[in-house]
Structures are given as structure tokens and as C-alpha cells.
């Protein structure tokens, strides 16, 4: 089969990213222009500011991605872009640019679900990995257990009923005075702490999650006592979250007779969660996969990979592709 070069575009939140990926697995370039410094002073992403920055950055990032890959527009076979879920104004920048490129260059256009992209990051990191497997998606906006039955076939097994894990990380980080995004800073501090606080774990009789109870318990602990040890709070929080993630992931593997768990999303960068999952899964003879940190958080290489698999399955989008802020996993 002829090689296929896919240009990926990701603008769903606060990273403007463009990538060139060969055959869904080989990254030629993956340029990520982060707006974190801009949003930091507001304590979180300001949607309007994110959209404006995407507009300012996108052309430069595209050029850089082509240059680093040592290709021109002519060499690109497919244009893929995140069209949801995310901030609608931010998504629209990527979608509009992708449609413009597809039209001007007469290339096929493929809209990609952001979370299908996060899962596909693992195809880049583990070149032999193929579905079926169970994916634990943990990001700023999602906490989902997904049965990945094929490259383009997803079944949701469980999801959070309130906060996403990353959201809980960012909120507790904020209350202990850490800058946005707090997840990586909690990760670092936790390494110096001891598990001295017992925070609640929430379970349901299915594979759903809930993190608002843990979050509130942490916030109350921090607000109600004068001499808290921040490092201990961080690691106690991670321990509570990990326990729930491990328990539900193992249940999902058992119920679906599967032995592969694939981590995806920004929180998959968390060292404590990875270690806990790794140990628990090893004990049961299951295998854990996760991408390197740069492919855990938002990037366009994962979108180009997912776009490639959608394209080779025969799916394409037309120029009426629109941004969908609340696109559901598994929808096309």
C-alpha cells in the first residue's frame, strides 16, 4: 500500500498544534504551541483568548510542522482536524483552516474526535499495538473506560458522573496555591509526601466514576486546618484517585475478557497513577500501555494518527464539517 502522509491539526483547548505523521504511526513533526503562560494569570483557560491566540498562531505552526517534517503541502495526502469536543471557538479555528486547506489543495478532509486522538497516541508510542483493548481515558474533560473494539469502533463502559480526574487535579491544585494547570505540579509535590489523609473513594455498581466527593474532601481539609502538609495532601489525593481507577480498570478488563489496558489523556502523564496501575495489572497478568508525556497531553500527532485510521477505513468529511463542542465518544 502507498504511504499516506497525514497533516493533523489540534486547537480544541489551549494548545495550537500541527503535525505530520506517516501511516498513522511515524511522527515526522509534532509542533505544539502552548498558551499556558497566557491563561495562567486567569487560573484557567479563557475561551475567547484561546480562540484569538489560535488564529494568530495557526499559520506559523503549520509552516513549522511542514518544515520540520521536510515536506510541502504537495506531499500531504490527508488533512485531519479535531472537530470536537472542546471549546467551540477554539475548535472552529482548526476546522476552518483544515477546510480551507482541503479545498485549496484538493485533499481529503477527515474530522477527528479529540478523545479518539488521545487513544491513538498509543499507536504512535507502541507500533505493534492494535485493537481490541480497553482504554482508560483520563484528561481535563474526560474520565472514561472505553472498549476499543477496532480502530474506529468505540463502546463506552463507564464514565464520570461529575468531575473529570484532570479537573479534580486542577481544582485541588488551585486551592493549595499552585498555578494552572495544577496536575503536573501535584504530581511533583506528591513525590515528597506520605499518605496521611484518608480521602473518600466513590464506587457504583457499574463502571462509572465520581470525583466530586474526593475533591470536596480535599478542599475541606485544606480550608479547615491551619497546618496541612501540602505534599501529604497531594499524595493522599493521588492514592484515592488511583485506587478507584485501578479497581474499575481491572473490572473492565475482566468483564470484557481483555488483557490490555491503554492509558490516554493528559492525566496519563501522572507518575503515581501509572505506577499504581502498572503494579496492579502486573500482578494479574495484564499489560499496561501509555504514551510518553508529550503525547499524553494535547498534540496534533495523535489527531493525525486517528485521522489516518479513519481515512483508510473509507471515511471522509465534506466541507460542511462543523465544530461540535459536546461531541460524544464513538460518534463520527
Residues that bind Zn ion (CB under 5 A): 139, 298
Q: Which three cell numbers stand for residue 29?
A: 513533526
Select from ligand KG4, Zn ion, none the partner in contact with residue 270, using the beta carbon and a kind-dependent cut-off of 5 to 8 Å: ligand KG4
Q: What is the Cα–Cα distance from 303 to 44, expressed in whole angstroms?
A: 24
Distance in angstroms (rounded) separating the CA atoms of residues 218 and 136: 24
* Residue placing its CB nearer to Zn ion in the complex, 80 or 139: 139
Residue 211 CA to chain centroid, in angstroms? 18
The site partner of 209 among ligand KG4, Zn ion, none (C-beta below 5 to 8 Å per kind) is none
Report if residue 51 touches ligand KG4, rule: CB under 6 A: no
Among 24, 117, 166, 193, binds ligand KG4 (CB under 6 A): 166
Contact between 140 and ligand KG4 (CB under 6 A)? yes
Q: CB-wise, 246 or 267, nearer to ligand KG4?
A: 267
Q: Which parts of the chain fold into alpha helices (H)?
A: 36-40, 47-69, 88-105, 114-125, 165-175, 183-190, 212-224, 230-255, 271-284, 293-296, 301-312
C-beta separation of 17 from 299 below 8 A: yes
Task: List the single partner that 16 binds among Zn ion, ligand KG4, none, CB under 5 to 8 Å by kind.
Answer: none
Site membership for ligand KG4, residue 90 (CB under 6 A): no
User: Does 93 sit behind a cis peptide bond, omega within 30 degrees of 0 on the bond before it?
Assistant: no
Residue with the three cell numbers 471515511: 315
Between 62 and 245, CB nearer to ligand KG4: 245
297 binds ligand KG4 (CB under 6 A): yes
270 binding ligand KG4? (CB under 6 A): yes
> By the criterion CB under 6 A, which residues form the site for ligand KG4?
13, 139-141, 166, 169-170, 181-184, 187, 265-267, 269-270, 297-298
Amino acid at each position: 500500500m502507498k504511504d499516506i502522509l497525514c497533516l493533523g491539526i489540534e486547537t480544541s483547548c489551549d494548545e495550537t498544534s500541527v503535525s505530520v505523521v506517516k501511516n498513522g504511526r511515524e511522527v515526522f513533526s509534532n509542533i505544539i504551541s502552548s498558551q499556558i503562560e497566557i491563561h495562567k494569570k486567569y487560573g484557567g483557560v479563557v475561551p475567547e483568548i484561546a480562540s484569538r491566540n489560535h488564529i494568530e498562531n495557526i499559520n506559523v505552526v503549520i509552516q513549522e510542522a511542514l518544515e520540520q517534517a521536510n515536506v510541502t503541502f504537495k506531499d500531504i495526502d490527508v488533512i485531519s482536524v479535531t472537530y470536537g469536543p472542546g471549546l467551540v471557538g477554539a475548535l472552529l479555528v482548526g476546522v476552518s483552516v483544515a477546510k480551507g486547506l482541503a479545498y485549496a489543495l484538493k485533499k481529503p478532509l477527515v474530522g477527528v474526535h479529540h478523545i479518539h486522538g488521545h487513544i491513538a497516541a498509543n499507536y504512535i508510542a507502541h507500533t505493534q499495538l492494535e485493537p481490541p483493548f480497553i482504554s482508560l481515558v483520563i484528561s481535563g474533560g474526560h474520565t472514561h473506560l472505553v472498549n476499543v473494539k477496532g480502530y474506529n469502533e468505540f463502546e463506552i463502559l463507564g464514565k464520570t458522573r461529575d468531575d473529570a480526574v484532570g479537573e479534580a487535579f486542577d481544582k485541588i491544585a488551585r486551592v493549595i496555591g499552585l498555578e494552572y494547570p495544577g496536575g503536573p505540579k501535584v504530581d511533583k509535590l506528591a513525590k515528597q509526601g506520605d499518605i496521611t489523609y484518608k480521602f473518600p473513594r466513590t464506587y457504583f455498581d457499574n463502571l462509572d466514576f465520581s470525583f466530586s466527593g474526593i475533591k470536596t474532601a480535599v478542599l475541606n481539609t485544606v480550608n479547615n486546618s491551619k497546618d496541612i502538609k501540602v505534599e501529604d495532601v497531594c499524595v493522599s489525593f493521588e492514592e484515592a484517585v488511583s485506587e478507584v481507577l485501578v479497581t474499575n480498570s481491572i473490572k473492565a478488563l475482566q468483564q470484557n475478557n481483555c488483557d490490555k489496558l491503554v492509558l490516554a489523556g493528559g492525566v496519563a502523564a501522572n507518575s503515581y497513577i501509572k505506577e499504581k496501575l502498572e503494579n496492579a495489572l502486573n500482578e494479574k497478568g495484564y499489560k499496561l500501555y501509555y504514551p510518553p508525556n508529550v503525547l499524553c497531553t494535547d498534540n496534533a500527532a495523535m489527531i493525525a494518527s486517528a485521522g489516518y485510521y479513519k481515512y483508510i477505513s473509507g471515511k471522509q468529511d465534506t466541507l460542511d464539517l462543523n465544530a461540535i463542542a459536546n461531541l460524544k465518544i464513538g460518534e463520527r
